[in-house]
């Protein structure tokens, strides 16, 4: 019998399972969570019976599926984890959020006897939703670490995107999909953007066309979703696609319910430029974790007390920016370089709370490096990153440690496989590794004065200098290093980074616009996406950076925190200027 159902609308006030790590960082209680009302889900759904309230989740332990869990719970369902093949066969509704790389995933499925159960379940046309790798594994094989055999249910080979004609790989961001057949779960998508993050994709062919329910175009067409009977799979991430994505999950979870069809408003046609809100987080002098904001990285007020600037509470602001239309939210633990991040329980709790209600990608950075604690216990950067992923991050951002790794690589030309970039990208994929570059402009009279790549600057330096190079820094801008932003960007791409967050200390907090010279230099030099950061003071600065550089996204902090320019105003302006953004 049908019963009315509304999803939870408030931030939980009970912490999720506490981390086992402890330290002398601010207490969890000092976070002072304020319950923040989230926008109610647009389509109120009905649940068929109490039996239907459990979703079986196939998490084979290769990575983070916390976001999928959070989205399912947000929609009012309980989760039962697959422990053994029979759990698949007994499932009423199975969600398979594939994470990690194709070969290890197949390996685990086969070793645990899950592959066979999965094939049986799907062949019996039982309710199934595969996500991302959970779609790719249904195909015959993949070129990722391979060729490697897949489950073989759908004809076709999963191949890598071709970056040779200027398309950035990984394909990261909000793209339009073209719905090609009635697929039921895509009923509210129409021409709205959904979030993709992947380097491999399956392509349409005569042999698999009867499976395809939507395609996406990124250089060429690839399969965005499949449907046959009760079997669905999507290449995009519904759990990270905001309200549009939640509607996909909701329609899968409540197939027989009368969900009102949402009038489709979007005009998506291609990959959108992203607008990202950034939260620089640190403990203030009272030990409370606060969102702060620097002026050229100086986060202390220019007062006698010289206190850390406090612009709000991290979880609350993240939730607010999600509702305001941010395409991603980044947390930078700006004192992570000197603290042990796994000792930073509140930061991990911030992520856990935020990810319960924020259904767009979350990036977290600060302190990701190998570390030996006071008791002599060694933690690899992979362990540090894993804890961030487990707490709800979709991507981690590495600052100082990437500089050291690049310096070493330039010296030795040897990939050791041991750098944080290599370790984390090997396990979680390149798309999960963002490198945060913190360069400072150094003016030059003559470009040959340094061995680093320089640019002719659009505005001459204080002594009329026509050139500049961008010196990388570590430890929050405190120490300049002998490597330029250009050299760093090239090396980290080679080591396996999937994206670059490009700050500029000179422009940070100045509100005078992004450093176009720098962003053009770097976004032309690499084939991974570049996020322009530092200096946004108006909506026009966003259209400027997108028209003059190849940045894939633009990030701002101060103007959003101080409520000078709402995120929606930035997007409205971009749309008016012909820049495609997620509506
Ligand atoms: O070195 O791996 O521990 O990472 C530390 C991270 O913390 C790095 O990503 C570094 O950029 C960041 N960080 C360190 N110190 C500061 C500081 O401000 N004192 N914040 C800091 C950097 C830069 C931006 C900022 C934009 C936009 N924040 O992300 O949000 O400049 O600001 P705006 O729109 O107001 O101009 P590790």
* CB of 409 sitting under 6 A from ligand 1: no
Helix, strand, coil percentages (3-state) for the chain, rounded to 5, are: 30, 25, 45
Name the residue with the closest Cα to ligand 1, atom 18: 297
Residue nearest to atom 12 of ligand 1 (CA): 334
Degrees to nearest 5, angle at CA 152 with 148 and 156: 80
Residues 311-365 pLDDT 10s: 999 999 999 999 999 999 999 998 887 777 676 667 889 999 999 999 999 999 9
pTM attached to this predicted model? 0.90
In the numeric block, which tokens belong to residue 575? 């749309």
CB 502 within 8 A of CB 485: yes
Statement: residue 511 has pLDDT above 50? yes
Q: Is 438 a catalytic residue?
A: yes
| pLDDT (mean) for 393-400 | 95
Which ligand 1 atom minimizes the distance to the CA of 400?
1
Q: Are the CB atoms for 544 and 570 separated by under 8 Å?
A: no
pLDDT for 208-246, tens place per residue?
Answer: 999 999 999 998 999 999 999 999 999 999 999 999 999
Nearest Cα residue to atom 7 of ligand 1: 334
Q: How confident is the model at residue 509 (pLDDT cuts 50, 70, 90)?
A: very high
Q: With a cut of 90, say whether residue 12 has pLDDT above it.
A: no
DSSP for 362-379, please give it. Answer: EEEES--S-EE-TTS-EE
Q: Are 537 and 258 in contact (CB under 8 A)?
A: no
Which one from 132, 216, 504, 507 is the annotated catalytic residue? Answer: 132
Q: What is the pLDDT of residues 426-460, one digit of tens each?
A: 888 888 999 999 999 999 999 999 999 999 999 99
99 falls in which pLDDT band (50, 70, 90)?
confident
Supply the pLDDT for residue 184.
87
Tens of pLDDT, residues 365-391? 999 999 888 888 899 999 999 989 989
- Average pLDDT over all residues of the chain: 88
13, pLDDT greater than 90 = no
Count other C-beta atoms under 10 Å from residue 374's C-beta: 8
Cβ(509) – ligand 1 distance below 6 Å:
yes
Beta bridge partners of 96: 130
- With a cut of 90, say whether residue 189 has pLDDT above it: no
Model confidence band, residue 492 (pLDDT cutoffs 50, 70, 90): very high
Separation between Cα atoms, residue 392 and residue 361, nearest integer Å: 9
465-484: average pLDDT: 97
Q: What is the pLDDT of residue 4?
A: 30
239 is catalytic: yes
What does the pLDDT read at residue 258? 60
Single out the residue of 469, 461, 458, 463 nearest to residue 517, CA to CA: 458
């Amino acid at each position: 019998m049908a019963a009315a159902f509304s999803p939870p609308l408030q931030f939980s006030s009970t912490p999720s399972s506490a981390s086992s790590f402890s330290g002398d960082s601010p207490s969890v209680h000092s976070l002072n969570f304020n319950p923040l009302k989230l926008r109610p889900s647009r389509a109120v759904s009905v649940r068929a019976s109490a039996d239907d309230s459990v979703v079986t989740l196939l998490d084979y332990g290769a990575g983070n599926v916390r976001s999928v869990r959070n989205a399912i719970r947000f929609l009012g369902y309980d989760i039962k984890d697959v422990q053994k093949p029979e759990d698949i066969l007994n499932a009423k509704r199975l969600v398979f959020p594939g994470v990690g790389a194709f070969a290890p995933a197949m390996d685990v499925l086969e070793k645990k006897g899950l592959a066979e159960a999965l094939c049986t379940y799907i062949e019996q046309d039982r309710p199934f939703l595969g996500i991302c790798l959970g779609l790719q594994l249904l195909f015959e094989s993949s070129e990722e670490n391979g060729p490697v055999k897949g489950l073989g249910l759908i004809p076709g080979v999963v191949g890598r995107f071709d970056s040779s004609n200027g398309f950035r790989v990984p394909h990261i961001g909000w793209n339009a999909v073209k719905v090609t057949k009635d697929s039921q779960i895509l009923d509210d998508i129409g021409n709205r953007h959904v979030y993709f993050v992947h380097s491999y994709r399956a392509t349409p062919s005569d042999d698999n066309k009867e499976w395809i329910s939507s395609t996406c175009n990124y250089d060429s067409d690839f399969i965005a979703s499949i449907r046959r009977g009760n079997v669905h799979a999507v290449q995009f991430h519904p759990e990270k696609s905001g309200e549009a994505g939640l509607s996909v999950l909701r329609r899968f979870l409540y197939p027989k319910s009368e969900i009102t069809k949402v009038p489709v408003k979007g005009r998506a046609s291609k990959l959108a430029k992203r607008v990202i809100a950034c939260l620089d987080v640190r403990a203030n002098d009272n030990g409370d974790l606060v969102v702060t904001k620097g002026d050229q990285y100086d986060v202390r007020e220019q007062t006698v007390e010289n206190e850390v600037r406090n612009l709000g509470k991290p979880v609350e602001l993240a939730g607010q920016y999600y509702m305001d239309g941010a395409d991603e939210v980044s947390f930078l633990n700006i004192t992570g370089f000197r603290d042990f991040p796994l000792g930073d329980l509140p930061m991990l709790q911030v992520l856990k709370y935020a990810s319960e209600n924020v259904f767009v990608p979350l990036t977290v950075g600060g302190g990701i490096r190998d570390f030996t604690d006071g008791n002599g216990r060694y933690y690899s950067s992979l362990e540090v990153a894993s804890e961030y992923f487990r707490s709800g991050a979709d991507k981690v951002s590495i600052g100082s440690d990437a500089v050291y790794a690049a310096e070493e690589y330039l010296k030795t030309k040897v990939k050791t496989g041991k750098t944080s970039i290599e370790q984390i990208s090997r396990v979680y994929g390149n798309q999960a590794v963002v490198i945060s570059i913190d360069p400072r402009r150094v003016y030059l009279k003559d470009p040959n004065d340094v061995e680093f790549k320089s640019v002719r600057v659009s505005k001459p330096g204080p002594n009329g200098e026509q050139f500049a190079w961008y010196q990388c820094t570590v430890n929050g801008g405190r120490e300049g290093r002998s490597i330029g932003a250009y050299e760093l960007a090239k090396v980290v791409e080679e080591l396996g980074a999937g994206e670059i967050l490009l700050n500029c200390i000179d422009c940070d907090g100045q509100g005078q616009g992004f450093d176009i010279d720098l962003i053009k230099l770097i976004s032309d030099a690499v084939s991974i996406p570049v996020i322009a950061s530092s200096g946004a003071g108006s909506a026009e600065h966003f259209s400027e950076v997108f028209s003059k550089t190849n940045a894939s996204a633009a990030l701002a902090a101060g103007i959003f925190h101080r409520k000078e320019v709402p995120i929606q105003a930035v997007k409205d302006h971009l749309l008016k200027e012909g820049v495609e953004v997620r509506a």
